[in-house]
Amino acid sequence: MSPPSGSQQRAGTAKGYVPALGYHGLTGLYDRVVAVTMREAIWRADFVRLIAPSAEYRLACRGAGTG
């Protein structure tokens, strides 16, 4: 497989990966795009109510967003 070129060029990585939104230049916009397209503010509170965590549990978000 040939290395990516142009706007998809890897910056200092030994192996390729797909950056947020597919291009390195768009990574800074990831959180805003997801907030608008996924309507997270609407469903997040409903999801927490649905799983009904008790005080003895902690919720963690892992492997999501731009980290």
HSE at residue 7, side-chain half, CA atoms within 13 A, is: 8
Tokens describing residue 57: 């549990």
pLDDT, tens digit (0-9, with 9 covering 90-100), for 34-66: 888 888 778 888 888 888 878 888 877 776 655
Predicted confidence at residue 31, as pLDDT, reads 83
Check if the beta carbon of residue 26 is closer than 8 Å to that of residue 43: no
pTM: 0.42
DSSP percent split of the chain into helix, strand, coil, nearest 5: 50, 0, 50
Do residues 35 and 66 touch, judged by C-beta distance below 8 A?
no
